[in-house]
Amino acid sequence: MILFDVIFAGGPEEILKKFLKSNHKVVFAADGILWPDKKLADKYPIVHIGKRYLNSGGFMGYAPYINRMVQLWNLQDNDDDQLFYTKIYIDPVKRETFNITLDHKCKIFQPLNGAIDEVVLKFENGKTRVKNTFYETLPVAINGNGPTKILLNYFGNYVPNSWTQDKGCTLCEFDTVDLSTVEVHPNVTIGIFIEQPTPFLPRFLDILLTLDYPKEALKLFIHNKEVYHEKDIKVFFDKAKYEISTIKIVGPEENLSQSEARNMGMDFCRQDEKCDYYFSVDADVVLTNPRTLKILIEQNRKIIAPLVTRHGKLWSNFWGALSPDGYYARSEDYVDIVQGKRVQNSFAKVIPGKNTILLFCIEMWIRVTELLSALPYFSACQSSKNVDSYSPSYKDMPLNLEKHATRFSLNS
């Protein structure tokens, strides 16, 4: 039996081989944490090397033995199954009758709760596995039990072979689209946000007009908070109005907060029944590839965001992990992502931090609005709790993308 919060790092042949080597009829996952009844600790058999306590989050065995074992259940449906199996295991007679053992060294099952410091990613021979460094084992079923769902999510970026050192991202070319084969491009509203005095703003605005995308399929929403930049906006408008039919400008006189402005930009798209995508860009982002918008759309993800970095710095708009209070923490792979070592032809799920650049598929609006209430700089400007992002790369431009909520990467 395996719970829902499990990633398989290997196949059934490996699982069966390791099970048979145990030379027992039933094998349960082992844990370093005793739960739910700590008073039972003394009743457990002594274990000199390995984890001592039973974890019912994963077990396997011969069907007749498991069937006979579960026939002993005389409790209610909402009673604790782990306590039920624990009492069977700590009973010497029943343990021998059902020939039960625990996977003490995590050869098959790896519960993550209480074992975060034991596990690392292992890249070898074109494969990616989770390795238990305490026991030098490669567990097959990685169980994100307890408060370890984000760590499980992190491992899911790589295991099983989602990202390898040889091939990079093995999933990034799946379920994409080719805009060169369509006659009519999706309609896109570009939201532009000038929230502070920004150098080279005229250049940024002019680059928007060089995007390799049909101008008849574009609309612009511009929020300018700075009086200083009003002249730049006017110059841009006088040029852009001949190419882009709809341009909405909200100036500093409106005195909008960032969250109000960003919500207004999304509403501008949402209220347009022809709007297919909303592309939000901060003015301090430099777009160097005119195919940026096409590349993002061709990834065919619902929410996608490029990785934006600063030259020579470790700053980026990606969060790789969360602190206990739900804010920023540096992940183990963060530096490799920012330095491009796990971006080229690769992906890495991350959490949107600073909302410098995002592309939303508007059909996801209902789910997006729920998401935005948890994103910094959107709505209440709260911290994100569990938003995914991942990053493949196109031949000439590193990207970071994901199937649900995605951050994508443009090196500017």
Check whether 401 has a pLDDT greater than 50. Answer: no
Check whether 408 has a pLDDT greater than 50. Answer: no
pLDDT digits 0-9 by tens, 337-350: 888 888 643 333 34
pLDDT for residue 191: 98
Are 48 and 74 in a shared domain?
yes
Quick one: pLDDT band at residue 228, thresholds 50, 70, 90?
A: very high
Are 145 and 198 in a shared domain?
no
pLDDT for residue 263: 95
DSSP 8-state class, residue 211: -
pLDDT digits 0-9 by tens, 244-300: 999 999 999 999 999 999 999 999 999 999 999 999 999 999 888 999 999 999 999
pLDDT for residue 369: 56
Check whether 233 has a pLDDT greater than 60. Answer: yes
Dist. CA 314–CA 335, nearest whole Å = 7
Quick one: pLDDT band at residue 1, thresholds 50, 70, 90?
A: low
Check whether 175 has a pLDDT greater than 50. Answer: yes
Is residue 408 situated within a structural domain?
no
pLDDT for residue 371: 54
Are 232 and 375 in a shared domain?
yes
What SS3 class is residue 121?
A: strand
Strand ranges inside 294-364, DSSP E:
303-304, 318-319, 321-322, 328-329, 351-352, 357-361
More confident residue, 341 or 105: 105
Which residue is associated with the tokens 């604790």? Answer: 80
Check whether 132 has a pLDDT greater than 80. Answer: yes
Please say which residue of 103, 137, 166 terminates a domain.
166
pLDDT for residue 407: 39
Dist. CA 266–CA 258, nearest whole Å = 12
Quick one: pLDDT band at residue 139, thresholds 50, 70, 90?
A: very high
More confident residue, 11 or 372: 11
Residue 308 in contact with residue 409, Cβ under 8 Å? yes
Mean pLDDT, the chain, whole residue set: 86
Name the domain count of the chain: 2
Please say which residue of 166, 189, 217 terminates a domain.
166
Average pLDDT over residues 75-80: 89
Strand ranges inside 260-356, DSSP E:
277-282, 303-304, 318-319, 321-322, 328-329, 351-352
pLDDT digits 0-9 by tens, 304-318: 888 888 888 998 888
Is residue 21 situated within a structural domain?
yes
Is residue 174 situated within a structural domain?
no
Is residue 203 situated within a structural domain?
yes
Is residue 47 situated within a structural domain?
yes
Quick one: pLDDT band at residue 352, thresholds 50, 70, 90?
A: very low
Tally of residues, the chain: 412
**CA angle in degrees (0–180, nearest 5) for 77-79-80:** 125
pLDDT for residue 98: 99
Average pLDDT over residues 72-87: 93
Q: Cβ neighbours of residue 349 under 8 Å, at least 6 residues apart?
A: 153, 154, 156, 157, 388, 389, 390, 402
Dist. CA 275–CA 269, nearest whole Å = 6
pLDDT for residue 310: 86
CATH (domain of 288)? 3.90.550.10
Is residue 138 situated within a structural domain?
yes
More confident residue, 326 or 113: 113
Are 370 and 342 in a shared domain?
yes
Check whether 20 has a pLDDT greater than 90. Answer: yes
Give the domain extent around 278.
179-398
Is residue 405 situated within a structural domain?
no
Please say which residue of 109, 142, 166 terminates a domain.
166
Are 15 and 127 in a shared domain?
yes
Quick one: pLDDT band at residue 391, thresholds 50, 70, 90?
A: very low
pLDDT for residue 37: 97
Are 35 and 158 in a shared domain?
yes
- What pTM, to 2 d.p., does this model score? 0.79
pLDDT for residue 215: 98
Are 252 and 370 in a shared domain?
yes
Strand ranges inside 283-372, DSSP E:
303-304, 318-319, 321-322, 328-329, 351-352, 357-361
Are 84 and 196 in a shared domain?
no
Are 152 and 251 in a shared domain?
no
Is residue 206 situated within a structural domain?
yes
Quick one: pLDDT band at residue 322, thresholds 50, 70, 90?
A: confident
| Residue 392, φ and ψ in degrees, nearest 5 | -90, 175
